[in-house]
Chains A and B, each alone.
Chain A
């Protein structure tokens, strides 16, 4: 995987909310077609990293570069249309919209909207359950199905990079397996996946590389095996 070209690069990102700094110089690199895990305890700043990449939080310092293009000052809409998609923690499906309308909402950008039909076929191929439930209101789906829908909705935008925040949260172990299996399939379709997880053990099983965060800083970056094999990191930051 080492020879894959860089897709998204964060250098020296400092960011926060209303004057309270959360990120203190975050460096992160995603290459094409890889799964990268972003790990760390609750409050380490993982979600803020995603929100900064998706343009919701404006970085105070540092650069975010997507395929040699600086994303500085771009709105969330422009970042979405460049193929960087954020699947939020807690699914956040649109509860009073049908499954298929949720998926259509995911294809909102011009490019994605015009390819809606093909993408929908692909997403139904990955998630047959969503096809079965296509006319059901999203709010009536089970937690696992809602997570599938949230990921499927992200795929509708035809992403280059899919950032998934805590997909295993609140799911039964069997469903966690299913979700992580899908993450691998999504990568195999050519999409880079940034996987934010508190469930470090499982995330390290599917990710090629991992970053470990604490207090808004990257403490460790490296191959998943190296992270999983380092007793100090395992114990101190991952609770394994």
Chain B
């Protein structure tokens, strides 16, 4: 047994964690704004993966355009799903259970739709970003560097939208007090629709980054979504900072944990953390206690 390279473990953890964070921030954004959980989040991730695959392999477009198409297609699908399914459920007095069941149903539908349409096989993709870098004994494939950079840019964009734009003001106002937001003239159904679209586009972004490393198949979204749920519980539901920090911390814990024990324990570690957090600090690291 050779010694661990702590730097390598940390870097690997940050790479994995930045993708958990990207997935988790979408779930958190939807929860924070609409107070619903999206159990089909992983399937929007899958749509992003398939769109990237077909854009690269069938349309043979430039990888950047392929990623853009993946985001756009998923965003539009998200907007349509919100408009046609979620809106009617969210306007009811009792919306928690119906939206939860609807997203679960949507998840099953989308997986099986992909299975029927594209088959069960794994579709492999070449790395979009070539090359491997070595810095001070840390091995870093270009794809993984790109993953972290893309995640940082995505968070900066989302944060700036929330912080500075008119739409961001509307999202924050709606999430904090929907009835009062209406008195400001804020059109909350429109806010919901766009928030849902942006949120699932973040999942698609994670997929376009990870699909070359793993592969594209109908179930590709399941593990990332489970991890994302652990992260949002860990970081606090509805908190963007919590999703980012929680994602990176989970990534590092897994990466170090797998080095200490063995890789079969990766999910055990993640879920052990989930249980521990629910036990000790159910509102998460950054979550406010629900009043």
Residues of A in contact with B (beta carbons under 8 Å apart): 54, 56, 75-77, 80-81, 85-88, 92, 94-97, 101, 104-106, 108-109, 113, 153, 157
Instruction: State the CA gap A101–B175 with chains docked (Å).
Output: 14
The residues of B that contact A97 with a CB separation of less than 8 Å are 169, 172-173, 176
25 contacts between A and B (CB under 8 A): A56-B182, A75-B187, A77-B185, A77-B186, A80-B183, A80-B185, A86-B183, A88-B179, A88-B180, A88-B183, A92-B177, A92-B179, A94-B172, A94-B173, A95-B177, A96-B176, A97-B172, A101-B169, A104-B169, A105-B170, A105-B184, A108-B169, A108-B173, A108-B184, A108-B185
**Known contacts being A92-B177, A94-B176, A94-B177, is A105 close to B169, with CB within 8 Å?**
yes
The residues of B that contact A85 with a CB separation of less than 8 Å are 183
Q: How many B residues, CB 8 Å from partner?
A: 16
Query: Nearest 6 pairs between A and B by C-beta?
Result: A80-B185, A92-B180, A94-B176, A105-B173, A77-B185, A109-B185
Least CB distance from B64 to A in Å reads: 33
The residues of A that contact B185 with a CB separation of less than 8 Å are 76-77, 80-81, 108-109, 157
Instruction: State the CA gap A88–B180 with chains docked (Å).
Output: 8
Is B92 located at the chain interface by the 8 A CB criterion? no
Of A56, A104, A113, most B-chain CB atoms within 10 Å: A104
Question: Residue on B with the closest CB to A81?
Answer: B185
Question: Residue on B with the closest CB to A76?
Answer: B182
The residues of A that contact B172 with a CB separation of less than 8 Å are 94, 96-97, 101, 105
Residues of B in contact with A (beta carbons under 8 Å apart): 166, 169-170, 172-173, 176-177, 179-187
Residues A108 and B176 in contact, CB atoms below 8 Å apart? no
Instruction: State the CA gap A77–B186 with chains docked (Å).
Output: 6
Question: Residue on B with the closest CB to A156?
Answer: B184
Of B166, B183, B185, most A-chain CB atoms within 10 Å: B183
The residues of B that contact A81 with a CB separation of less than 8 Å are 185
Least CB distance from B121 to A in Å reads: 47
Least CB distance from B48 to A in Å reads: 31
Contact of B176 among A87, A95, A106 (CB under 8 A): A95
Question: Residue on A with the closest CB to B166?
Answer: A113
Residues B166 and A108 in contact, CB atoms below 8 Å apart? yes
Least CB distance from A121 to B in Å reads: 19
Instruction: State the CA gap A95–B176 with chains docked (Å).
Output: 7
**Known contacts being A77-B185, A77-B186, A81-B185, is A108 close to B180, with CB within 8 Å?**
no
Residues A54 and B177 in contact, CB atoms below 8 Å apart? no
The residues of A that contact B182 with a CB separation of less than 8 Å are 56, 76-77
The residues of A that contact B184 with a CB separation of less than 8 Å are 80, 105-106, 108, 153, 157
Instruction: State the CA gap A157–B172 with chains docked (Å).
Output: 18
